[in-house]
């Protein structure tokens, strides 16, 4: 056992204390912070999308402006919620006057904030609870701006003529003038023909509004215009029925009180909260982590074994230990490497959560609670070692029969297909954790760890989990014995065995 542990420590030290690994540990949080900052900078510097409305009816440009202002009001309110979460203790923020306290982002609350004096009044109300050094609240920039367009557009007599006038601007051959004397690239043009309206809404031959833009990926403005025109037609229809147009806004602002509950809890604890949602998502996150780590450490085993074979290092090692001890040491050492990275991030998360909690802004708390107050972490560790034993032995055996990465490629294709084959079905397992696909993957031994992890929060049938796990353990034992023989018999061969000789190696005792 001492030799096995020495080999394990050698493998562990070789990777964990390497400069590359240490640099990664430093660069990961730095890179994550830089990515977050870059995303914030990109959002702040995102250009305002200028668009033109050519409306032959003269009725809908104001409706689109109204929707633009509504969306901006909602985004500003969401920014205020985030500002309070970052700069004020949660319990103190909740005691602010109702329009300013953190809450849902809705049109009704936007109007309530405006009626209460806007965000200047909100800042004044929150001034006493803000943490020292908190920056002033800055509302996000408007995402869209409607511009009048070129002077010639006003004289256009048809949509075709308007399109010809606007085409050079839409192709960015010319810049569109803005109201403040500057110019901007024209992002889109909205064209509304004569005859467009509620009276013709159900007529298949009625003229359609048109949206013109070269940008096919950013559909935010297209969706906004569609929603604005839908709302305008509904208001017109309400007015035709004798209702005031404002009535539709009042009806749309109605929000039904609606909560979700779990039937497997007592009534007073059954209502779902954020912790429950996180606990539901955690198995999927852990399954993804399991897959990534197993694949990563498997590659470490493969490349390390090939390198030691090609450099004759394995011959030196086998002068002091047996092939079986070398194999077990490698498996233990690389398994420890696979657990080190998530362990470091977990400790960092605990430390960060404690720091944030002391300042009233706990972020990691619900995540850590779902790990440590449920069996998820123990389940993850158990199935990590099961999946690791299966796939690490596959990679180790491939390394033992290969002198180079080129030699290993012929084996890696089928292995990669096996590793990643269930990925397209994981969404189905997550959405229907007790369905046929979930049960099928659970009973396939090489996928049992991933399927059971993904189903962990859905209380799958106990007999199914126990039976599938027993089958997986039996399969793992047979596979380890089978591939272990290949490793012990092939590790000292100077030339890699041919594919037809692998079966003979698996049947032969190493002696």
Per-residue pLDDT reduced to its tens digit, 385-411: 888 888 888 888 888 777 777 777 777
User: According to the 3-state scheme, what is the secondary structure of 139-156?
Assistant: CCCCCEEEECCCHHHHHC
Contacts of 132 (CB under 8 A, 6+ apart): none
Given a cut of 80, is residue 493 above it in pLDDT?
no
Q: Which residues of 139-165 are buried (b: 16+ CB within 10 A; e: fewer)?
A: eeeebbbbbebbeebeebeebeebbeb
CA dist., res. 506 & res. 511, Å (int): 13
Give the three-state DSSP class for 192.
strand
Predicted local distance difference test score (pLDDT) of residue 202: 62
Highest mean pLDDT among 4-8, 73-77, 147-151: 73-77
pLDDT band per the 50, 70, 90 thresholds, residue 201? low
Do 172 and 186 contact (CB within 8 A), yes or no? yes
> Over the stretch 40-78, which tens digit does the pLDDT of each residue have?
666 666 778 999 999 998 889 999 999 999 999 999 999
Among 94-103, 123-132, 312-321, 438-447, the minimum mean pLDDT is found in 312-321
Q: Which band of pLDDT confidence, cut at 50, 70 and 90, is reported for residue 360?
A: very low
> pLDDT by residue (tens digit) across 100-114?
888 888 888 888 899
Nearest Cα to 140, choosing from 65, 221, 79, 70? 79
Tell me the backbone φ, ψ of residue 54, rounded to 5 degrees: -105, 105
Mean pLDDT of the region 452-477: 87
Alpha helices of 359-461 — where are they, by DSSP H? 365-372, 376-400, 405-420, 423-431, 436-442, 448-455
239 vs 150, more confident:
150
Q: Is the pTM of this model over 0.75?
A: no
Residue 53: phi, psi to the nearest 5? -115, 120
Q: Which 3 state secondary structure label does DSSP give 458?
A: helix
Q: CA distances (Å), 437 to each of 1, 66, 167, 455, in order?
A: 42, 47, 51, 11
Q: What is the pLDDT at residue 64?
A: 93
Q: What is the dihedral of CA 11, 12, 18, 20, to 10 degrees?
A: 100
pLDDT for 361 equals 46
Q: What is the rounded CA–CA span in Å between residue 479 and residue 488?
A: 14
Residue 188 in this model has a pLDDT that exceeds 90: yes
Going by pLDDT thresholds of 50, 70 and 90, the confidence category of residue 358 is: very low
Whether 363 has a pLDDT exceeding 60, the answer reads no
pLDDT of residue 91: 81
Quick: pLDDT tens for 496-506: 666 666 666 66
Q: Which residues of 241-257 are buried (b: 16+ CB within 10 A; e: fewer)?
A: eeeeeeebbeeeeeeee
Is the model's pLDDT at 492 over the cut of 60?
A: yes
Query: Does residue 259 carry a pLDDT above 80?
Result: no
User: Given a cut of 50, is residue 267 above it in pLDDT?
Assistant: yes
Rounded to an integer, what distance in angstroms lies between the CA atom of residue 418 and that of residue 408?
Answer: 16
Residue 115 has pLDDT above 60, yes or no: yes
The mean-pLDDT minimum among 127-131, 291-295, 382-386 falls in 291-295
262 contacts: CB under 8 Å, gap ≥ 6: 270, 272, 276
């Amino acid at each position: 056992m001492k030799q096995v542990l020495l080999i394990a420590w050698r493998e562990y030290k070789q990777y964990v204390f390497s400069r590359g690994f240490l640099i990664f540990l430093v660069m990961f949080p730095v890179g994550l912070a830089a990515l977050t900052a870059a995303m914030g900078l990109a959002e702040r510097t995102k250009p305002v999308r200028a668009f033109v409305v050519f409306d032959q009816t003269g009725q809908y440009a104001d409706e689109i402006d109204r929707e633009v202002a509504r969306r901006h009001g909602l985004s500003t309110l969401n920014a205020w919620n985030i500002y309070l979460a970052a700069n004020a203790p949660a319990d103190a923020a909740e005691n602010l006057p109702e329009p300013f306290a953190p809450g849902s982002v809705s049109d009704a609350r936007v109007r309530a904030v405006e009626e209460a004096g806007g965000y200047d009044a909100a800042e004044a109300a929150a001034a006493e609870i803000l943490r020292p050094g908190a920056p002033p609240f800055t509302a996000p920039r408007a995402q869209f701006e409607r511009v009048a367009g070129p002077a010639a557009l006003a004289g256009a007599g048809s949509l075709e003529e308007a399109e010809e006038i606007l085409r050079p601007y839409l192709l960015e051959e010319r810049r569109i003038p803005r109201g403040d004397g500057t110019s901007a690239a024209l992002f889109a043009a909205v064209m509304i023909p004569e005859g467009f309206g509620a009276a013709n809404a159900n007529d298949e031959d009625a003229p359609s509004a048109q949206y013109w833009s070269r940008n096919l990926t950013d559909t935010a403005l297209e969706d906004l215009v569609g929603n604005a025109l839908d709302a305008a037609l509904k208001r017109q229809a309400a007015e035709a029925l004798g209702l005031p147009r404002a009535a539709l806004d009042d009806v749309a602002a109605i929000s039904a009180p609606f909560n979700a509950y779990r039937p497997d809890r007592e009534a007073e604890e059954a209502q779902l909260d954020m912790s429950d949602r996180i606990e539901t998502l955690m198995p999927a996150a852990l399954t993804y982590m399991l897959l990534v780590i197993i694949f990563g450490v498997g590659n470490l085993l493969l490349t390390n074994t090939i390198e030691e074979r090609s450099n004759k290092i394995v011959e030196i090692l086998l002068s002091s230990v047996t092939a079986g001890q070398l194999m077990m040491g490698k498996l233990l050492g690389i398994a420890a490497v696979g657990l080190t990275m998530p362990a470091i991030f977990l400790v960092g998360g605990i430390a960060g959560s404690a720091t944030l909690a002391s300042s009233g802004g706990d972020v990691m708390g619900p995540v850590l609670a779902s790990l440590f107050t449920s069996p998820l972490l123990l389940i993850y560790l158990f199935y990590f070692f099961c999946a690791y034993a299966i796939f690490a032995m596959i990679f180790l055996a491939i390394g033992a029969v290969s002198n180079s990465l080129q030699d290993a490629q012929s084996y890696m294709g089928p292995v990669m297909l096996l590793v990643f084959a269930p990925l397209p079905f994981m969404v189905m397992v997550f959405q229907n954790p007790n369905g046929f696909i979930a049960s099928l993957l659970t009973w396939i031994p090489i996928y049992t760890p991933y399927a059971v992890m993904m189903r962990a929060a859905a209380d799958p049938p106990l007999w199914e989990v126990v039976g599938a796990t027993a089958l997986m353990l039996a399969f793992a034992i047979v596979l380890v014995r089978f591939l272990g023989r290949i490793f012990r018999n092939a590790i000292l061969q100077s030339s890699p065995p041919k594919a037809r000789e692998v079966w003979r190696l698996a049947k032969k005792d190493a002696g």
